[in-house]
Amino acid sequence: MHASSRVSALHNIATRLRIDSVRATTEAGSGHPTSCCSAADLVAAIFFSEMRYDPRNPQNPDNDRFVLSKGHAAPVLYAAWAEAGIVRREDLLTLRRFDSDLEGHPTPRLPWVDVATGSLGQGICAAVGIALNARRINSDYRTYVMLGDGEIAEGSVWEAAHGAVHENLDSLCGIIDVNGLGQSRASLWDHDISAYCARWQAFGWHAIAIDGHNMDAILSAFDEARSTRGRPTMIVAKTLKGKGVSFVEGKPGWHGKPFKKGEEVERALAELEQQFVPEELPAAQPRPRDVPRPPSKPPAPLGPPSYALGDKVATREAYGTAIARLGANDDRIVALDADVGNSTFSEKFEHQHPKRFFEAYIAEQLMVGAAMGLAARGAIPFPATFAAFFSRASDFIRMAAIGNNNIKMAGSHAGVSIGEDGPSQMALEDLAMMRSQPNVTVLYPCDAVSTDRLVERMAYHNGPAYMRTSRPKTPVIYGPDDTFHIGGLNVLREAGSDVATVIGGGITVFEALEAHDLLGKQGITIRVIDLYSVQPIDTATLVRCARETKGRLITVEDHYVGGGIGDAVAAAVAGHGFAVHRLAVREIPRSGAPEELLDYYGISARHIVDAVTEGRRV
Amino acid sequence: MHASSRVSALHNIATRLRIDSVRATTEAGSGHPTSCCSAADLVAAIFFSEMRYDPRNPQNPDNDRFVLSKGHAAPVLYAAWAEAGIVRREDLLTLRRFDSDLEGHPTPRLPWVDVATGSLGQGICAAVGIALNARRINSDYRTYVMLGDGEIAEGSVWEAAHGAVHENLDSLCGIIDVNGLGQSRASLWDHDISAYCARWQAFGWHAIAIDGHNMDAILSAFDEARSTRGRPTMIVAKTLKGKGVSFVEGKPGWHGKPFKKGEEVERALAELEQQFVPEELPAAQPRPRDVPRPPSKPPAPLGPPSYALGDKVATREAYGTAIARLGANDDRIVALDADVGNSTFSEKFEHQHPKRFFEAYIAEQLMVGAAMGLAARGAIPFPATFAAFFSRASDFIRMAAIGNNNIKMAGSHAGVSIGEDGPSQMALEDLAMMRSQPNVTVLYPCDAVSTDRLVERMAYHNGPAYMRTSRPKTPVIYGPDDTFHIGGLNVLREAGSDVATVIGGGITVFEALEAHDLLGKQGITIRVIDLYSVQPIDTATLVRCARETKGRLITVEDHYVGGGIGDAVAAAVAGHGFAVHRLAVREIPRSGAPEELLDYYGISARHIVDAVTEGRRV
């Protein structure tokens, strides 16, 4: 196709994308047509000139990838797919309906969507992960990510900025649709394109300023990005919100507002229809991609780890050993850390598999976001940091859950048992955060063997998962033949005379075992459960134990009382009429020695003994 | 004092700060002495030459303020206070002990600490808020914040960077202690001072590169910062980790490691002792600050709002009206938003009190962090965004709880009842996040009157608080004489024949009322509770109702099942043996019409009716 006719064809595609976006949002009665109109020329160029992909096979591992970080422009993305023949054009009018997968913001229900977007500033972190994955599989696919100007204020964008440069990701190309208008007012830097470029250049990116409605300029910018080596490119495109519809173009007060049915939308559509130009040749088609490659095979299961009963090993260290072992067995395993790899023991993986380790530095949103991108493209990523600092990425975890994204998080240094560093370093709400997401698997092993076996389980479970590990060394209590599964637990002590069931996790399992022994000296027996899988939870065994131990369930956890093990067990057994006595941290803790803190905050063996002997029906 | 003798005195103070930091961490057996040593010259200059403050009165509103964003260098901060006579030098050796307020990382247990630090990248956001407060009270105090180089990778730092420039905060001066070493490896940009300066300059700051161990250069940089108008200054100081102790200076592998007692620490101390220089004059003293001003008086309570029974008003809109009313009555009230003020209705406050409104743009960490800083200096800040996006600031909320910081958060667009925008915009885990912090008050009003009255309650409650509001309009059900308090609830329907107690919050209160009416037609009565205070919770009334309604408690909430109202009620009544039947969202939802979603996800009136008539003991 001649250059000029290519431009005409793309221009007409952009006009169709605008028309489809306007129609769909008006039909839905909600949505963001003006945010689609500013992006339409850029989207047309990306999908119908720049990207190499097979429209019939979204999962071809060598397809170029596109992430719509400004997820509220979903209708223009769906319109591009209609243009590519991936969805039926008439289905566009089902936008935002309960019976349609064309949701208000893109989710991976749709095979072309890698990660759910709609919470701004996340897509670019995922795009970093998608670009890292190309390196993992030795593919030359490129990754494109479109951002809005409003979302550039999000700190996570700048985490991605440094991460992409540090990794020299020249396969990554960002596009900022600078339409100058946020939701409530002009965006932070308005239409000052040089302000954007200066920031990206200072962070080490190649930056290109263009008029985002000039198709020649758009195509040249993509050419320039593709030939830039050693660093990522950011195309900063000056656009008009509502471009193409004169009565809204560049005007505030039109964010997230569809055109009203009737005269208003008809006027908009009539204007857009006028904008078609003659084409000499058929419309541009998305270019198909090369031969698909066979998918990776799942490897043989690992054998048991080589721990001996009684060995003292911190579960965080067993985690590091386990991912390193797993990584040797399966090249889909990837590890990420946020500059605490010598505390989380991710360093064990890094030492053995340096090419599959990604150091995010102290940027937890980037770490989790990149993991989301890696997972979306077939890797099995294990991001790790102090459990407390996963809260920094809480919104990313929320979005990973929405996308049922296959990330495997590991949080170390849980609870007051870390001791002297004090509350800022103690995770006391991580179980609540993870458990609140209905599809996040939550594991909490107490010893090295269970840690090892559960790392393997979480790796091959499909969906987001979280493992909580502890700082102190704990004795190995399981042998090579013990088995563990998602949704399981272990009854560690059991007798017919048990007067209560005590349910611990991690470090408190040992407090429960000690309480068992102390009570034994008084002739009292208790049942002790290691609740290594907090979500899903083994309701049947908990209910059985409650029935067999006079209905008394006592949970003990190194976590705040809200949202943790106590709440999880209570929710599980509620349908059978049982209530739960919760031993948990109930106030903001302070620095101190681990044993001192466990005791002061009411979760030591002594407090378990008191709860059991208190004798009241709790 | 002559310049040269001032320099000598400050040099000697820095040496004492190093010695004290080394001694304290060795005594504690943990901590970060090398991170203190790199910062010691800068801290000496800040506390004993640059800052104007009254050491005897930490709460003087005109004191210059200092935030140690790199909180792990706490010992050097404590040592500076000892030098200023604020703490006893011998108390420094109680560092990290359970009986000492000198915790591993600084917390506001200490009157000189405005916000808890130790989660990196937060202190600078708080410093923006502290600097904004100076404007609020018409003070010329200056705000200083010290960052580590590692934490510059945190996105929140760049949110603060744009926020401070947007507000032209020339009273704000940052100092980066670029010691070049993170925890696990060299930091991201190592000792490349120009890489740091370029980034800050591109973001609009005045940047000054110095040798952070050259006292003349340090003092000049502070002079330059103080005379810079219209924008904040970042002093980028090249330092050596472990400066002053030759065998660790600039060496990796010494992060977070105290010197061992005995030969190792003695060798370090001997080297440091050698570094004192002769002084001509007594040591520099912190300069006292001007006259203290009287504290603001709490205003008279507001009268009732002017809603009529049956009016349809969204609680989010009532929130905006309430803070605007409150702001007219009390100039400590400040509002912040993240570019959704026309959705959260913060815009009502902005329109009436533009000088006390701070637009953070789409940067929720900055918004909450700045609120923390404002609150620390006496403002009563109300940061607001979609409830879902408070998850972006989850780690800040965690730290605000640690500091019992007086912020008043308002999250709109809770739950599936927002409808078509889809799950990325729905908060379904915000109650879990907020409730997991033991000292965060969690309010969830269902109508405009209760919203208004509870906004006033939360404003004058001391400590962090959260209000959850809804998108749809709901009818006013309370009158001007109804009262509401933190820890309360309202029994809306009650009869002696009640067969169950149904507990709702926000939008589901109306589903419960509808269920009451539907069941009434079958001759069945239920008790209906509006649980407007989720934390603290009115245990006594819940237990009474359980006893009076056959032990049956049914919760219904527009929230995921984990960590929300069901768990809160269950935890409250567990000690009395009652269990709770939870109606809540149990899977990732999708786009759709609000009523359709409430019904599909099991929290509509129909499901309440089913739960009641199911008749099983739940």
Per-residue three-class SS string for A558-603:
EEECCCCHHHHHHHHHHHHCCCEEEEEECCCCCCCCHHHHHHHCCC
DSSP class of A36: H
- Compute the nearest-CA separation of B590 from chain A (Å): 7
Contacts of A107 in chain B (CB under 8 A): 422-424, 590
Single-letter amino acid code for the residue at A327 = G
CA distance A155 to B498: 52
Give the C-alpha separation, A600 to A301, whole Å.
43
Output the average pLDDT for chain A.
Answer: 95
Checking A198-201 for CB contacts under 8 A at 24+ apart, the result is A198/B202, A199/A152, A199/B199, A199/B202, A199/B203, A200/A161, A200/A234, A200/A236, A201/B202
Pick from A286-300, A303-317, B265-279, B519-533: least confident:
A286-300
Do the beta carbons of residue B536 and residue B441 sit within 8 Å? Answer: yes
- Tell me whether strands B441-443 and B533-535 are parallel, antiparallel or unpaired: antiparallel
CA distance B526 to chain A (A): 19
Q: Which residue type sits at A334?
A: V
Residues of chain B in contact with residue A575, where contact means CB-CB under 8 angstroms, are 579, 581, 618
Catalytic residue status for A364: yes
A527: nearest Cα among A496, A501, A489: A501
Rg of chain B (C-alpha set):
27
Q: Catalytic residue numbers of B?
A: 364
Q: How far apart are the first and last CA of chain A?
A: 78
Nearest to A575 among B339, B341, B618 (CB): B618
Residues 6+ apart with CB under 8 A from B241: B34, B35, B37, B38, B179, B180, B181, B248, B249, B250, B251, B254, B255
**Min distance B423 CA to chain A CA atoms (Å):** 7
Q: How far is CA B304 from CA B326, B469, B478, B484, in A?
A: 12, 19, 11, 12
**Closest chain B residue by Cα to residue A367:** B154
pLDDT confidence of residue B299: 86
Given this model, what pLDDT does residue A279 score?
81
Q: Specify the pTM.
A: 0.97
Mutation site, B437, B468, B553, B591, interface A, largest A CB count within 10 A: B591
Give per-residue pLDDT as tens, A451-498.
999 999 999 999 999 999 999 999 999 999 999 999 999 999 999 999
A162 Cα to chain B: minimum distance (Å): 7
State chain A's maximal CA–CA distance in angstroms: 94
For B576, which residue in chain A has the nearest alpha carbon?
A: A618
Tell me which DSSP letter residue B145 carries: E
| Least Cα separation, residue B77 to chain A (angstroms) | 16
Report CB contact under 8 Å: B421, A104.
Answer: yes
Pairing outcome for strands B553-560 and B501-504: parallel
Distance in Å from the first CA to the final CA of chain B:
78
Would you say residue B582 has pLDDT above 80?
A: yes
Q: What pairing do the DSSP bridges indicate for beta strands A533-535 and A441-443?
A: antiparallel
Which whole-number Å values give the CA distances from A72 to A583, B343, B422, B424, in the listed order? 44, 15, 10, 10
Give the position of tokens 């409605």: A213
Assess contact for B558 and B586: CB atoms under 8 A: no
B151 Cβ under 8 Å from any chain A Cβ: yes
- The interface pTM score, or ipTM, of the predicted complex is 0.96
Nearest CA in chain A to B338: A184
Residues of A with CB below 8 A from B122's CB? none
Cβ separation A361–B159 shorter than 8 A: no
Helix (H) or strand (E) holding B500: none
**Average pLDDT over every residue of B166-188:** 95
A201/B contact by beta carbon, under 8 A = yes
Give the residue-averaged pLDDT of B441-468. 98
| 3-class state of residue B39 by DSSP | helix
Question: Is the model's pLDDT at B449 over the cut of 60?
Answer: yes
Count CB atoms within 10 A of the CB of residue A511: 25
Over the stretch B281-340, which tens digit does the pLDDT of each residue have?
A: 666 778 777 666 766 777 888 889 999 999 999 999 999 999 999 999 999 999 999 999
Helix (H) or strand (E) holding B318: helix B315-329
Q: What are B110-137's pLDDT values in tens digits?
A: 999 999 999 999 999 999 999 999 999 9
Residues on chain A touching B188 (C-beta within 8 angstroms): 162, 166, 361
State the catalytic residue, choosing from A364, A456, A511, A557.
A364
CA distance A462 to B26: 47
Residue with tokens 């709860």: A611
Instruction: Compare CB distances from B395 to A71, A341, A389 and report the shortest one's residue.
Output: A389
What pLDDT was estimated at residue B297?
A: 72
Q: CB distance B362–A120 less than 8 Å?
A: yes
* A587 in reach of chain B (CB within 8 A): yes
Contact B155 A150 (CB under 8 A): no
Rounded distance, CA A163 to CA A10, Å?
Answer: 33
Which amino acid does the sequence have at A229? R
- Mutation target among A199, A361, A547 for the B interface, most CBs of B within 10 A: A361
pLDDT-based confidence at residue A289 (cuts at 50, 70, 90): confident
Helix axes A33-45, A74-83, angle to 10 degrees: 40
Burial B186-197 (b: 16+ CB within 10 A, else e): ebbbebebebbb
Yes or no: say if B145 and A334 are a contact pair by the CB < 8 Å rule.
no
CB A376 within 8 A of CB A59: no
Listed in sequence order, the residues at least 6 apart from A270 whose beta carbon sits closer than 8 Å to its beta carbon are none
Copy the structure tokens of residue A89. Answer: 């054009």
Assess B119–A contact: CB distance below 8 Å, yes or no. yes
Residue written as tokens 């490119």? A233
Residue B616 clears pLDDT 50, i.e. is over it: no
The DSSP 8-state label assigned to residue B414 in this structure reads: B
* Integer Cα distance of A143 and B478 in angstroms: 54
